[in-house]
Amino acid sequence: MSAAGTTSNAATLQRFHSAVNSGDPEVISKAIDDLVAPDLLFHAPVPMGLTGAEALKRVWEVLLRAFPDIRVTAEETISEGDRTAVRNTVTGTHRGEYQGVPPTGKTVSYSEIFIFRFTDGRIAEVRGVVDVLSLLRQLGALPS
């Protein structure tokens, strides 16, 4: 893949982050429709019974319900060939139920790393590691 291709993939990912940072479920859903392959391979914790782009939409529905002001900040982005890796910091205020934890009003900050594979300019595969342990500790669901 050319340098232009990797630049284009990073730009696609920036568009995706802009959409999720809008906090608007409709904007996020449309961005997923536009930027993500319908048969997305998603290697991260996702709701059972869903696959593809629909699983990603569900993840964002759950996150927005729990953290309506959620913000994803890309700290580092590395692109090579058809892959782009990004290390993010995620922040938000716990205003709705999350993994059985009732709203606490606490502000959280946690890290995640994702590797995206692109096909024909769309996100075709996602592999992710999310620091859920840190998140649950901040919510008081687990001891520090």
**Quick one: what percent of the chain has pLDDT higher than 70?**
92
Task: Extract the tokens encoding 66.
Answer: 């729990």
CATH class of 3-138: alpha beta
78-103 mean pLDDT:
96
pLDDT at 130 over 80: yes
pLDDT score for 18: 97
Question: Considering the chain, what is the average pLDDT of its residues?
Answer: 92
Per-residue pLDDT reduced to its tens digit, 5-46: 667 998 999 999 999 999 999 999 999 999 999 999 988 766
pLDDT score for 51: 80
pLDDT band at 144 (very low <50, low <70, confident <90, very high): confident
pLDDT score for 3: 54
What is the C-alpha separation between 44 and 30, in angstroms, rounded? 21
pLDDT score for 89: 98
The domain segmentation of the chain, as residue ranges, is 3-138
